[in-house]
Chain A
Amino acid sequence: MYTQGLDLVPKGEKPEAPKSEEEARLEAAFQRKIDEEIRIEPTDWMPEGYRRTLIRQISQHAHSEIVGMLPEGNWVTRAPTLRRKAILLAKIQDEAGHGLYLYSACETLGVTREELYEQLLAGKAKYSSIFNYPTLTWADIGIIGWLVDGAAIMNQVPLQRCSYGPYARAMIRICKEESFHQRQGYELCLALAEGSPEQRRMLQDALNRWWWPVLMMFGPPDKDSWHTAQSMKWKIKRFTNDELRQKFVDAVVPQAERLGLKIPDPHLKWNPERGHYDFGEVPWDEFWRVIKGDGPCNRQRMEQRRRAWEEGRWVREAALAYAEKRRRRQQSEAA
């Protein structure tokens, strides 16, 4: 579903050590490639900081896709029609797929799948704050598709041109599929908007709860985002968090109006001089609380992931034992 411009440096990470002459030469050549828009591929030389930043960003992105299945999974058995149920299942399956593309891209940087998974399950890895909010009504499923996936697209489209080849290629696949997610969500919202007064109230309530958390998806404001400048120089990132947030607000306000919804922000107003919507301050205290593990559903999400991992253990082991048995049988037949 999406990467948050978190740019959080894990505790204890040390600043770069002084560089040798050889390293400085390699780094200059590396930056020249980036400036010329030549993609970096897994076996190419890259600065340690670039590798670390990418591992952090791609793994956070992958974890977000995987955890992102949980809030939607909550509604599979309660979807109102068979069509909606099939759509929701397909969307959730896509999220699993996106997580797997991204884990694969991350592994090309020299980290193993087990390490990444262990980091998530041990609660050491970050994932998008948005998935720590509950899905209370069916309207939430529409709002997630329209706004959460809409924000994801805003974030991910520039990542298709990310300087790291495997990440950019994964993003191309993901963006293609994400468009379905957004459109089915808006269509669901439209059905509720054209429904009974109660359905319209339900939709407005969902928007009221999700609006600010969705704006947090673009990450902290630029003034608090530590890595932005370096990530922009390395072309891992092409736009800042605040630029993307503004683009998103400008895009979705007319869409909300079309649904007859009111954006829950008294400061939201078109500014003809800027050619953009002005909007109120995002509640950043809440953002930091959720990121640090204290959102409405953080514990539940991690518990569910751990349980799924533990309860699936016998399947993974049985598959491996079966593969081994077959390999041996083939060997003895050949002998």
Chain B
Amino acid sequence: MKGWPLYEVFIRPRNGVAHRHVGSLHAPDPEMALELARDLYCRRGEGTSIWVVPASAITASRPEDKDAFFEPLEKEYRHPSHYNIPPDVKNM
């Protein structure tokens, strides 16, 4: 919509789990974004809490830097499977 900024919508389906990105919508202001998010993404009890965030407020990593940005070095020793424990050692 002309001049209606884009909001990203996050919903917590129930208490005890994290808010999760579900999609986006256009709205004139944050309050209406919340109401529209309820109508658009919670028509069947999908949520108990909604966050709306102006899409322009999000800083994202660049996909072309993916490898260098996320895995600068092989660091297998950070994973439990890197370590050899004799099979007779229990509860490890």
Chain A residues engaging chain B, CB cutoff 8 angstroms: 41, 43-45, 90, 93-94, 97, 100-101, 104-105, 107, 113-114, 169-170, 173, 177, 316, 319-320, 322-323, 326-327
Contacts and interface: CB of A to CB of B under 8 A. Distances in A.
A107 B6 contact: yes
B50 interface: no
A104 B24 contact: yes
Contacts of A45: 63-64
Contacts, number: 52
Given A94-B43, A100-B40, A320-B28, A114 B63 contact: no
Contacts of A173: 22-23
A236 B44 CA distance: 29
Contacts of A41: 63
Contacts of A94: 43
A286 B3 CA distance: 41
B3 A320 contact: yes
B39 to A, nearest CB: 8
Given A114-B1, A316-B2, A323-B32, A101 B23 contact: yes
Contacts of A100: 25, 40
Given A43-B62, A43-B63, A323 B29 contact: yes
A334 B2 CA distance: 28
Given A43-B62, A326-B29, 18 more contacts: A44-B63, A45-B63, A90-B43, A97-B39, A100-B25, A100-B40, A104-B24, A104-B25, A113-B26, A169-B23, A170-B23, A173-B22, A173-B23, A177-B43, A316-B28, A319-B29, A322-B29, A323-B28
Interface of B: 1-4, 6, 22-26, 28-29, 32, 39-40, 43-44, 60, 62-64
A316 B64 contact: no
Given A93-B43, A100-B25, A104-B23, A320 B60 contact: no
A319 B23 CA distance: 22
A114 B2 contact: yes
B64 to A, nearest CB: 7
Nearest to B9: A104
A238 B26 CA distance: 31
Given A43-B63, A319-B28, A113 B40 contact: no
Contacts of B40: 97, 100-101
A90 B43 CA distance: 9
Contacts of B32: 319, 323
A318 B49 CA distance: 28
Cβ-closest 8 pairs across A and B: A323-B29, A323-B28, A319-B28, A320-B28, A43-B63, A104-B24, A44-B63, A320-B3
A173 B46 CA distance: 11
Nearest to B4: A320
A113 B1 contact: yes
27 contacts: A41-B63, A43-B60, A43-B62, A43-B63, A45-B63, A90-B43, A93-B39, A97-B39, A97-B40, A100-B25, A101-B23, A101-B40, A104-B25, A105-B23, A107-B24, A113-B1, A114-B1, A114-B2, A169-B23, A173-B23, A177-B43, A316-B1, A316-B2, A316-B4, A320-B4, A323-B32, A327-B29
Nearest to B2: A114
A25 to B, nearest CB: 13
Contacts of A177: 43-44
Nearest to A316: B1
